[in-house]
Chains A and B, each alone.
Chain A
Amino acid sequence: MNEERRKILEMLAQGKISVDEAEKLLAAISQPEEESETGKKYDKKDFPKYLRVVVEPGPASRKGEKVNIRVPFSLLRAGIKLASVVPHDVQGKVNEHLKEKGINLDLSNITPDNLEELLKHLNELEVDVDSKEEKVRIFCE
Chain B
Amino acid sequence: MMPPPLWMRLRIIESGRTKLRLWLPFVLIWLVFLLLIIILSPLVLLASLIMWGYGLGKKLLMVGPMFFYVLCALHGLNIQVDSVDSQFSISFQ
Contact = CB atoms under 8 A, between A and B. Distances in A.
A68 B63 CA distance: 32
B62 interface: yes
A74 B83 contact: no
B76 A66 contact: no
A78 B72 contact: yes
Contacts of A75: 70, 73-74, 77
A68 B73 contact: no
Interface string B33-54: 0000000000000000000000
B80 A69 contact: yes
Q: B-side binding surface: helix, strand, loop or mixed?
A: mixed
Interface residues of A, number: 22
Interface residues of B, number: 23
B59 interface: yes
A102 interface: no
B69 A68 contact: no
Contact of B69 (A49, A82, A87): A82
B82 A65 contact: yes
Nearest to A52: B78
A63 B77 contact: no
A79 B61 CA distance: 17
Contact of B81 (A49, A65, A70, A71): A65
- 3 closest pairs, A vs B, by CB? A78-B73, A74-B73, A70-B78
